[in-house]
């Protein structure tokens, strides 16, 4: 069963967490261990990729661990959504057209070739 896609808010929130963590030269595992109770590196990766929602108390802990105000992590209401990537495009083609992997690869390659023209 396919999981529903998380809202764009969480994609931007995750990106903000990732950028801040990387600027602090902190690993996902270090950030995960700083939470109470400690989390896992995989959970932090899911948050950063917008695949997992964040509870409010966890968001506060993340901000504290990253030594920033929680408001710096929260996306502005008018903040644009991240650009649509090639991976996003392939995922949508696979979902909407129900393409088998070989057909998807062929279509994706032809689109990439037309982008370079």
Top-tier CATH class for 8-72: mainly alpha
| Tens digit of each residue's pLDDT (9 = 90 or more) over 52-98 | 999 999 999 999 999 999 999 998 876 555 566 767 677 766 666 77
- Please report which confidence band the pLDDT of residue 106 belongs to, taking 50, 70 and 90 as the band edges: confident
Classify residue 82 by its DSSP letter.
P
Per-residue pLDDT for 115 more than 90? Answer: no
Per-residue pLDDT for 10 more than 60? Answer: yes
With b meaning 16 or more CB within 10 Å and e meaning fewer, what string describes 21-34?
Answer: beeeebebeebbeb
Angle, in degrees to the nearest 10, between helices 8-23 and 41-48: 120
Rounded to whole angstroms, the Cα distance separating 49 from 40 reads: 14
Q: Cα 51 from chain centroid? A: 6
Domain ranges of the chain: 8-72, 86-115
Note if the pTM is more than 0.75. Answer: no
The residues near 41 (Cβ < 8 Å, ≥ 6 apart) are 27, 28, 29, 32
Better-predicted residue by pLDDT, 8 or 92 = 8
């992997």: which residue's tokens? 101
Q: What is the pLDDT of residue 3?
A: 58
Q: How far is CA 87 from CA 70, 94, 104, 112, in A?
A: 30, 11, 11, 12
Per-residue pLDDT for 23 more than 80? Answer: yes
């Amino acid at each position: 069963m396919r999981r529903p896609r998380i809202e764009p808010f969480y994609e931007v929130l995750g990106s903000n967490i990732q950028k801040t963590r990387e600027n602090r030269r902190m690993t996902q595992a270090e950030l995960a261990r700083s939470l109470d109770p400690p989390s896992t590196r995989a959970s932090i990766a899911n948050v950063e990729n917008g695949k997992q929602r964040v509870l409010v108390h966890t968001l506060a802990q993340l901000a504290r661990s990253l030594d920033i105000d929680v408001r710096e992590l929260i996306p502005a209401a008018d903040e644009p959504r991240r650009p649509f990537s090639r991976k996003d495009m392939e995922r949508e083609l696979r979902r909407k057209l129900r393409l088998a992997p070989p057909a998807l690869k062929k279509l994706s390659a032809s689109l990439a070739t037309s982008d370079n023209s």
